[in-house]
Chains A and B, each alone.
Chain A
Amino acid sequence: MSSQSSSARARLLQERHLIGGPEEERFERIVRLAARLIGAPVAHLNVLDDSTTWTKAAVGSEQKQLPVGETFCQRVIETQQAVVIEDLRTDTQFRDYALVTEKPHFRFYAGEPLSIGDEVVGTLCVLDTVPRQLTPDQRELLRELASWAQSEVDNAGLNELVGALQDRESRLATLLDAVPEAVLLVDEKFRLTPTNPAGRTLLPSGTSALRDVFPLLSPDAPPFLERRGEGGAARLPVETTLCTPDQRVPVEVSVAPLGLSRAPWRWLVLVRDLSDLAQADAALRRERRLTSLILDSTTDGIVGSTTDGTVFLANRAATAMLTCRSGDLVGHSFQEVARPAADEQGQMTLSRRDGSRFPVELATTPIQVGEEVVGSVDTFRDVSQRLEMDRLKDEFVGVVSHELRTPLTSIKGALGLLSSGAFGDFAPEQAQLIDLARSNADRLGFLVDDILDLDRLDAGRMPLNAENVDVVELARQSVDSLDGAARAAGVTLQLLDEAGAADVSADPMRLVQALCNLIGNAIKFSEVGDTVVVRVSRDDAVSAGSVTVAVTDSGPGISQDQQRAVFDRFHQVNPADRGSRKGSGLGLSVAKGIVERSGGQLWLRSTKGQGSTFGVTLPALTTPRGREAT
Chain B
Amino acid sequence: MTAPDGRRRLLVVDDEPDIRTLVTMSLERLGGMQVVPADSGHAALDLLANDPSIDGIILDVQMPGLDGPSTLERVRELPHGATLPVVFLTASVQPSQRRALEQLPVTSLISKPFDPVTLPDLVRSAFGW
Q: Residues of A at under 8 Å CB distance from B? A: 402, 405-410, 412-414, 416-417, 420, 422-423, 445, 452, 463, 465
Contact = CB atoms under 8 A, between A and B. Distances in A.
By Cβ-Cβ distance, the 6 closest A-B pairs, closest first, are: A409-B113, A410-B18, A413-B22, A413-B116, A422-B29, A420-B117
A407 B22 CA distance: 12
Contact of A445 (B16, B62, B113): B113
Contacts of A412: 113, 115
Nearest to A406: B16
A409 B29 contact: no
A463 B16 CA distance: 29
A423 B93 CA distance: 32
A417 B91 contact: no
Given A410-B22, A413-B26, A414-B22, A463 B95 contact: yes
Interface of B: 16, 18-19, 22, 25-26, 29-30, 62, 91, 93-95, 112-117
B115 A413 contact: yes
Contacts of A402: 62, 91
A409 B117 contact: no
Instruction: Report which residue of B62, B94, B95, B116 has the largest number of chain A beta carbons within 10 angstroms of its beta carbon.
Output: B116
A17 to B, nearest CB: 115
Interface centre among A412, A413, A422 (most CB of B within 10 A): A413
Given A410-B18, A417-B25, A465-B95, A405 B112 contact: yes
Nearest to B95: A463
Contacts, number: 54
Nearest to A461: B94
Nearest to A410: B18
A420 B30 contact: yes
Given A402-B62, A406-B16, A406-B91, 9 more contacts: A402-B91, A405-B112, A406-B19, A409-B19, A410-B19, A413-B26, A417-B117, A422-B29, A445-B113
Nearest to B62: A402
Contact of A417 (B26, B62, B93, B113): B26
Contacts of B113: 405, 408-409, 412-413, 445
A502 to B, nearest CB: 26
7 contacts: A407-B18, A409-B112, A413-B26, A417-B29, A420-B117, A422-B25, A452-B93
Nearest to B115: A416
Contacts of A463: 94-95
A412 B115 CA distance: 8
A414 B16 CA distance: 14
Contacts of A416: 115-117
A414 B26 CA distance: 9
A405 B116 contact: no
A407 B62 CA distance: 15
B95 A423 contact: no
Contacts of B117: 416-417, 420
A445 B113 CA distance: 10
Nearest to A411: B18
Nearest to B22: A413
Contacts of A422: 25, 29-30
Nearest to A415: B116
Contacts of A413: 22, 26, 113-116
B91 A405 contact: yes
Nearest to B118: A416
